[in-house]
Chains A and B, each alone.
Chain A
Amino acid sequence: QKEVEQDPGPLSVPEGAIVSLNCTYSNSAFQYFMWYRQYSRKGPELLMYTYSSGNKEDGRFTAQVDKSSKYISLFIRDSQPSDSATYLCAMSPRIQGAQKLVFGQGTRLTINP
């Protein structure tokens, strides 16, 4: 079993829809949770970064962490064609030393005009 599971999709929704992307994990030591967006043939860019449980909002994006269920989500409101990309969740435990991120497989998202 992988430490982080993410449905690879593809996921296709109409413009303006609310998108929900999710990851589950098995390591209860994970404390830091991130979402990256990756356009085709580009490097990932950091979208959201949260610590422990709760919600964090940034514009049209909301990141949600439920540590009791070992489940994290990214919601995109008023989705736009420019949101079409692969979305990767990543997480790490509270550790000393370099941060070793564990990534999900990524979900390929397409927003149709």
Chain B
Amino acid sequence: DGGITQSPKYLFRKEGQNVTLSCEQNLNHDAMYWYRQDPGQGLRLIYYSQIVNDFQKGDIAEGYSVSREKKESFPLTVTSAQKNPTAFYLCASSTDPGTASEQYFGPGTRLTVT
């Protein structure tokens, strides 16, 4: 089965701790993306990567970091500098970063920080 997996589904952390969210895809897609979804605000882009070892900031990158060491993996670290980290985090991928191809989403990770 081809697709995007995110783990864990639910994650709980104490304030001040860094936490890493996993995203893996076996679709052989070049581009990968991280979004954050808050109630009533739609999806907002955190980081995206067009190719291995390269990534760019999205609209709300502050307090987050990413790496792209392998084509199939794009982990997101939520650092203690992120002021309001509790949210639903979605990873996506698309076939061709050079054109407007469709993005396919994973099932998401719901992060709660207390």
Which A residues are closer than 8 A to B by beta carbons? 4, 6, 8, 31-32, 34, 36, 41-46, 49, 51, 88, 90, 92, 94-101, 103-106
Q: Is the CB of B110 within 8 A of A99?
A: no
Which B residues are closer than 8 A to A by beta carbons? 4, 6, 31, 33, 40-45, 48-50, 56, 58, 90, 92, 94, 97-108, 110
Number of interchain pairs (Cβ within 8 Å): 68
Given contact pairs A44-B43, A99-B103, a sample of 16 additional A-B residue pairs in the complex whose CB atoms are under 8 Å apart:
A43-B90, A43-B107, A44-B105, A45-B105, A92-B100, A96-B98, A97-B97, A98-B94, A98-B97, A99-B97, A99-B100, A99-B101, A100-B58, A101-B45, A105-B40, A105-B41
- The secondary structure that dominates the B interface is strand
- Choose among A43, A92, A97, A99 the residue that contacts B106 (Cβ–Cβ < 8 A): A43
- Choose among A41, A90, A99 the residue that contacts B108 (Cβ–Cβ < 8 A): A41
